Amino acid sequence: MVGAGFAGLYALFRLREAGWEVQGFEAGGGVGGTWYWNRYPGARCDVASVEYSFSFSEELEQEWVWTERYAPQAEILRYLDHVADRFDLRPLIRFDTRVESAVFDAASGGWDVRTSDGEVTRARFVVMATGCLSTANLPDIPGRDSFEGELLHTGRWPHDPVDFAGRRVGVIGTGSSGIQAIPVIAEEAAELVVFQRTPNYSVPAHNGPLPTDELAKVKARYRDLREKNRRSMVGFAGWAPAPGGSAVALSNDERDEALEERWADGGLWFLSAFNDVLFNEQSNELVADFVRRKIRAVVADPAVADKLTPTQVIGCKRMCVDSGYFETFNRPDVRLVDLRETPIEAITPTGVRTTAEDIALDTLVFATGFDAMTGTLMRIDIRGRTGISLQESWEAGPRTYLGLGVPGFPNLFIVTGPGSPSVLTNMVTSIEHHVEWISDCLAHLRSEGYATIEAAEPAADEWVAYVNSVAGITLYTTCNSWYLGANIPGKPRVFMPLFGFAPYVDTCASVAADGYRGFTLTEADVQEARQ
Ligand code: N01
């Protein structure tokens, strides 16, 4: 089990319960994954806390008390620490231990997993619970390493508090992480300079304390909520009103009224006001225009408002959820630098040089995202049945079957891998679904006497074509997003996640019911005969 975030912890729990001997490896010094590394100011989840939580234990669900509508990073980390202790998972994990390679040994039908502590562990199965957003992207801007102030990345935030008081701070990047951190840093810093390459859409979180009676109501109906989430397209907001029809079908007033209602509720569900926002350009433009008007109404200086106003399709890059982001630009001590007008030329020992000026800084925060979905897997030397590496196999983009299995790599499973709905859903719902599917699959192999399972090439080819064809009917492919790998120089442009959770769950169930259709299962003696 590689990773001890939500996915690794649940996989360890579930597989141990099923009677397997399990060993977890975790590069970090503690559990938590994303929530261990992303400790930047303002970090919180933008799926509601009551939904962004495990459903596998009713006792856990009932006893844990979420204090805010959207849980802050520290509370989610406390929750995962609690899970690790409550279910006694820590003894199963080797911390501060990075998996460097995993090599399939055809003779034994198992994997040799080499770790940074020099050990090699033999495993029959390997489950990569390595996360979709776990390898930080630190762009190679000229002079970056010459900076003499403090250089930070939101995804690798120090454990000790960072002091911004009296400092001139720069933030590069205005995705979800930047948009959360900027208002909080602005409160503390002497000056804040925001370096923006692409403006982003953001909807207010309207975060606040979670009233006890509201939490009690959820707890009373938790099974129903979880079931609805599993039957939804995104794995959350299962109780929310169904999306309206097309945005195009309404008058301007009717549309604005519907959008105002969602805006007042806040959060990602805003994008589901109408059922065609991610499919119909005209509908998308009407919704985007509503958000643009909101930005202009908040930002006092029209020139700054213009720079902050996105033009791309809304939702194409992951929409953000904020607490006072646009308001921050009305502060006298916050400045926006539009990198489309004046790109960064270099980072200097004292700050950032754009084509227009030298900006002196004490602290520089990279909120520049991740080598998403494949970055972490591709940094591990994973070698399959024929000795081929995952890097070679995925040279033109990730190839999986169901996002769970990779042809040529027997007995290797990926939790929320590319080709599965993963990042387009509530991650915890997707993780639980995958871990349960993998656990059921291993039980099947054991009971039927199979030694190996491997995604078949034609099944993976068909699956990749299917994922692309679904992406092709959405508007997701119309901009440069990390979903497409467009944020990493040289990365193949392939839309990596699959849109639509509920139909995917049905497909996975039917594959299993069909004796793992599309996978090749090998019996123990056949495996031996192959050598
Ligand atoms: O990263 P991002 P993130 N020079 O890739 C800019 C999840 N998440 O860490 O758009 C200058 O979205 C880049 O500009 P551009 C969520 O799924 C969730 O913010 O490429 N700028 C962009 O503005 C999210 O989508 C939560 O032009 C550069 C920014 O850096 C995902 O994580 C919170 C640059 C990167 O944005 C990633 O979010 C946080 C360069 N060389 C994150 N390179 C919650 O649940 C990149 N940029 C709340």
Using H for helix, E for strand and C for coil, what is the string for 118-135? CCEEEECCEEECCCCCCC
Q: State phi, psi for 100 to the nearest 5 degrees.
A: -95, -35
Other beta carbons within 10 angstroms of residue 205's beta carbon come to 22
Task: Answer yes or no: is the C-beta of 197 below 6 A from any ligand 1 atom.
Answer: yes
> Could you tell me the residue ranges of all domains in the chain?
6-135+372-530, 136-200+317-369, 240-299
Task: Answer yes or no: is the C-beta of 268 below 6 A from any ligand 1 atom.
Answer: no
**The pLDDT of residue 531 is above 50:** no
Q: State which of 37, 179, 318 you would mutate to test the pocket of ligand 1, scoring each by most atoms of that ligand within 8 A of its C-beta.
A: 318
Q: Which of 173, 232, 215, 166 is nearest to 65 (CA)?
A: 215
**For atom 36 of ligand 1, which residue has the closest CA?**
175
Could you tell me the distance, in angstroms and rounded to a whole number, from the CA of residue 339 to the centre of ligand 1? Answer: 15
Q: What's the mean per-residue pLDDT of the chain?
A: 96
**The pLDDT of residue 16 is above 80:** yes
pLDDT at 528 (0 to 100) = 46
pLDDT tens-digit readout, 212-247: 999 999 999 999 999 999 999 999 988 887 788 999
pLDDT band per the 50, 70, 90 thresholds, residue 254: very high
Q: Assess contact for 195 and 173: CB atoms under 8 A.
A: yes
**For atom 15 of ligand 1, which residue has the closest CA?**
198
Could you tell me the distance, in angstroms and rounded to a whole number, from the CA of residue 310 to the centre of ligand 1? Answer: 14
Q: Assess contact for 178 and 367: CB atoms under 8 A.
A: yes
| CB neighbour list of residue 125: distance below 8 Å, 6 or more residues apart | 111, 411, 412, 413, 442
pTM above 0.85, yes or no: yes
Task: Answer yes or no: is the C-beta of 339 below 6 A from any ligand 1 atom.
Answer: yes
Could you tell me the distance, in angstroms and rounded to a whole number, from the CA of residue 432 to the centre of ligand 1? Answer: 26
Task: Answer yes or no: is the C-beta of 318 below 6 A from any ligand 1 atom.
Answer: yes
Percent of the chain scored above 70 by pLDDT?
99
Task: Answer yes or no: is the C-beta of 207 below 6 A from any ligand 1 atom.
Answer: no
CA-174 nearest atom, ligand 1? 23
Task: Answer yes or no: is the C-beta of 156 below 6 A from any ligand 1 atom.
Answer: no
Task: Answer yes or no: is the C-beta of 115 below 6 A from any ligand 1 atom.
Answer: no
Could you tell me the distance, in angstroms and rounded to a whole number, from the CA of residue 195 to the centre of ligand 1? Answer: 12
Separation between Cα atoms, residue 405 and residue 355, nearest integer Å: 47
DSSP state for residue 91 in the 8-state scheme: G
**The pLDDT of residue 56 is above 60:** yes
Mean pLDDT of 295-300: 98
**The pLDDT of residue 396 is above 80:** yes
Other beta carbons within 10 angstroms of residue 509's beta carbon come to 13
pLDDT at 243 (0 to 100) = 83
Task: Answer yes or no: is the C-beta of 369 below 6 A from any ligand 1 atom.
Answer: yes
Could you tell me the distance, in angstroms and rounded to a whole number, from the CA of residue 217 to the centre of ligand 1? Answer: 35
Other beta carbons within 10 angstroms of residue 11's beta carbon come to 27
Task: Answer yes or no: is the C-beta of 109 below 6 A from any ligand 1 atom.
Answer: no
Instruction: Compute the half-sphere exposure of residue 216: CA atoms within 13 Å on the CB side of its CA.
Output: 3
Topology of domain 136-200+317-369 in CATH is: FAD/NAD(P)-binding domain (3.50.50)
**The pLDDT of residue 351 is above 80:** yes
Q: Assess contact for 179 and 322: CB atoms under 8 A.
A: yes
Mean pLDDT of 450-477: 97
**Hey, what are 389's tokens?**
């590496």
CA-178 nearest atom, ligand 1? 19
Separation between Cα atoms, residue 278 and residue 282, nearest integer Å: 10
Could you tell me the distance, in angstroms and rounded to a whole number, from the CA of residue 467 to the centre of ligand 1? Answer: 23
Mean pLDDT of 349-365: 98
Residue type, 321: V
Percent of the chain scored above 90 by pLDDT?
96
pLDDT at 525 (0 to 100) = 59
| CB neighbour list of residue 174: distance below 8 Å, 6 or more residues apart | 182, 194, 196, 197, 198, 199, 200, 367
Separation between Cα atoms, residue 326 and residue 323, nearest integer Å: 9
Q: Assess contact for 411 and 425: CB atoms under 8 A.
A: no
If you search the block for the tokens 């945005």, which residue do you land on? 247
Could you tell me the distance, in angstroms and rounded to a whole number, from the CA of residue 423 to the centre of ligand 1? Answer: 14
pLDDT tens-digit readout, 271-296: 999 999 999 999 999 999 999 999 99
pLDDT tens-digit readout, 364-380: 999 999 999 999 999 99
**Hey, what are 118's tokens?**
């020099």
Same fold, 6-135+372-530 and 136-200+317-369: yes
Give the H or E element holding residue 284. Answer: helix 281-298
**For atom 12 of ligand 1, which residue has the closest CA?**
175
Give the H or E element holding residue 398. Answer: none
If you search the block for the tokens 């929530």, which residue do you land on? 35
CATH 3.50.50.60 fits 6-135+372-530, yes or no: yes
**The pLDDT of residue 2 is above 70:** yes
Separation between Cα atoms, residue 187 and residue 137, nearest integer Å: 26
Separation between Cα atoms, residue 30 and residue 4, nearest integer Å: 8
pLDDT at 530 (0 to 100) = 42
Could you tell me the distance, in angstroms and rounded to a whole number, from the CA of residue 294 to the centre of ligand 1? Answer: 22
Separation between Cα atoms, residue 172 and residue 34, nearest integer Å: 20
